[in-house]
Structure 1
Amino acid sequence: MTEAPRLDRQVCFALYSASRAATAVYRPVLDELGLTYPQYLVMLVLWESEPRGVKELGGELGLDSGTLSPLLKRLESLGFVERRRSGEDERRVAIHLTPAGRSLSEPARAIPQRLADAAGLSLDELEQLRSTLGKLTSALHESL
């Protein structure tokens, strides 16, 4: 007789638990910035390169427009982004950072170190973990 599956041996649960714990560590810093975790993810993409189309943002973050649109509306109401219709195609909306949104990138630089400190890992160890998780994610997407 084979042993029943155990929660403590499930990779999916370890990933879920780690994600929740990491988000909890981020929360106080994000509260200082006035951002939720999903809003922070949007801002990360925009800090890398802007403007970004809504569809492009959704693709990068793996979010549909029904999830992304309220996030963008809230970020706009906070004064961190502006949504602008394309002059070439009225159906396309580009997301631009405002000066206030751009200025948040500096204090956000401390977030990875805060996670490393809380986890008792070096930034190199966290990068190795991120790389392994990236490989896992890619392989799982390819298997679908």
Structure 2
Amino acid sequence: MSARLQPGDPAPAFTLPDADGTPVSLADHAGRKVIVYFFPAALTPGCTKQASDFTDSLELLAGAGYDVIGVSPDKPEKLAKFREKESLKVTLLGDPEKKVLSAYGAFGEKQLYGKTVTGVIRSTVVVGEDGNIEQAWYNVKATGHVAKLIKDLKI
């Protein structure tokens, strides 16, 4: 099980393919605040709700100086279908090897319907302009999370 990140920790660097297969790095966003959210699977109800909420709030978040990146273990082709089907505007990155998910503490044991399983832990971290973790939330709910995030960030 990977360790959860805490405020002040350096954000693990990453480069992953987006929905078009283009490499995107955390370093591409240096000097900006970045909301990185981790979700289990594209084209599922909860993940669709969460991605749609981020898309609906993108202008507000961008206006407050935040970029938004969603990361899942899906391959770029599936993320492209997800983006097209749901008209998503957030950057979606695929991490099929789960290396970035693990580095951020977003992959490991979790409770699902009363059973312990290994999988993606729905999580969100805010990376500051300095490349360090500002805030981290683990085991978040898909519905209502973006509204809570906006409230917590005082946007």
Structure (1 or 2) with the greater strand fraction: 2
TM-score between the two structures when normalised by the length of structure 1: 0.31
TM-score normalized by the length of structure 2: 0.29
Structure with more of its chain in helix, by fraction: 1
